[in-house]
Amino acid sequence: MSKKAIGFMDSGVGGLTVAKLAMQELQNENIAYLGDEARLPYGEKTKEEIQQYSLQIANFLIKKEDIKMLVIACNTATSYALDYLRERISIPVIGVVNPGSIAAVNNTRTNRVGLIATNGTVKSGAYEKAIKKINNNVDVFSQGCPRFVPMVEKQEYKKDNTQEIVNSDLSTINTDNVDTLILGCTHFPIMRELIQKSVGDSVILIDPGYETVKQIKKILQNNDIENKENDEVTYSFYTTGDANNFDKVANEWLNYDVHAKHLPIKELEEL
Ligand code: DGL
């Protein structure tokens, strides 16, 4: 049993979609969240940069927040840095790609699964690898949607012309005849309604966060590090970007009074 916090990391506010589900399902657990907004988008960075940034964040959360496990609540960082982090830090680390793949394979009836993600995640082939390992008969049709991340970060997805942008960016996926579509970037569940409208109600949208939280629960149990005390929980938030902007998106998404601390990149670089 451990009262230590679970660490969550993302390039920005996207990982809050996973953290929110964890807050609902793991109500005794303390959470420490870091969004690396100053270096976003990870989807356009090199593998080496993503590995370096991810390790800095992991080290920060371990040193400053004494976290008991790390959730890479970012598909791009999972695709490039999950194994890298597991080799370098001693606490349990989980990503979102394997859980998302399990959920997609469980839901498809036609074995035609779509993936929308950052260009980095698409290029890595991480989902294809994970899905083929589970069921070699499932085909994956991928589309990079880099415009969606800034639309969520700046809350621009609320503007009038957004549906047209979404329709245009999903036009290829919409001709691939998939029956299941993975929201393969943690920012995308915030735009879920627009995406569902574009692909139509017959396509099942997969938010990897749900399966990830189930797996977090299992890891806590298997390592005997759940918090069994029903005390008031603490949620702490850090951003390397603008704390006011982070708070605005986070307050709305989590329905919680978030006061993120600004973390200068310099402090991460020194770790
Ligand atoms: N939220 C991140 C993901 O799941 C990516 C956003 C970015 O490109 O920084 O991949």
Could you report the per-residue pLDDT of 104-142, keeping only the tens digit for each?
999 999 999 999 999 999 999 999 999 999 999 999 999
In contact, 81 and 51? CB cutoff 8 Å: yes
CA distance 261 to 251: 14
Binding site membership of 198 for ligand 1 (Cβ less than 6 Å): no
Q: For the full predicted model, state whether its pTM sits above 0.85.
A: yes
Radius of gyration of the chain (CA): 18
Q: Using the structure block, give the residue that is written with the tokens 């995640």.
A: 121
- Give the bridge partners for 262, in sequence order: 239
Check residue 79 and give its pLDDT.
98
What are the φ and ψ backbone dihedral angles of 229, each rounded to 5 degrees?
A: -80, 140
In contact, 187 and 76? CB cutoff 8 Å: no
Helices 208-222 and 16-25 pack at an angle, to 10 degrees, of 50
Check residue 271 and give its pLDDT.
78
Which residues lie below 8 Å from residue 237, measured CB to CB, with a gap of 6+?
Answer: 32, 33, 34, 35, 246, 250, 258, 259, 260, 261
**Can you list the domains of the chain with their CATH numbers?**
6-95+210-269 (3.40.50.1860), 97-208 (3.40.50.1860)
**What is the distance of C-alpha 43 from the center of its chain?**
12
CA distance 259 to 249: 11
Check residue 82 and give its pLDDT.
98
CA distance 166 to 194: 7
Check residue 83 and give its pLDDT.
98
- Which of 39, 71, 75 for mutating ligand 1's site (highest number of atoms within 8 Å of CB)? 75
Check residue 1 and give its pLDDT.
87
Cα of 185 from ligand 1 centre, angstroms: 5
**Pairing between β-strand 204-206 and β-strand 180-183 as defined by DSSP bridges:** parallel
Q: Using the structure block, give the residue that is written with the tokens 């793991």.
A: 26
Number of neighbouring beta carbons within 10 Å of residue 257? 9
Amino acid, res. 210: Y
Cα of 120 from ligand 1 centre, angstroms: 9
Binding site membership of 75 for ligand 1 (Cβ less than 6 Å): yes
E strands within 11-126? Answer: 31-35, 69-72, 93-94, 112-117
For the CA of 96, the nearest atom of ligand 1: 4
- Give the bridge partners for 235, in sequence order: 31
Check residue 270 and give its pLDDT.
87
- Catalytic choice (18, 74, 149, 205): 74
- Give the bridge partners for 206, in sequence order: 182
Per-run averaged pLDDT (10 residues), the chain, 271 residues: 96 98 97 98 98 98 98 98 98 98 98 98 98 98 97 94 97 96 98 98 98 98 95 96 97 96 95 78
Check residue 224 and give its pLDDT.
97
Return the residue whose CA atom lies nearest to atom 2 of ligand 1. Answer: 74
Number of neighbouring beta carbons within 10 Å of residue 41? 20
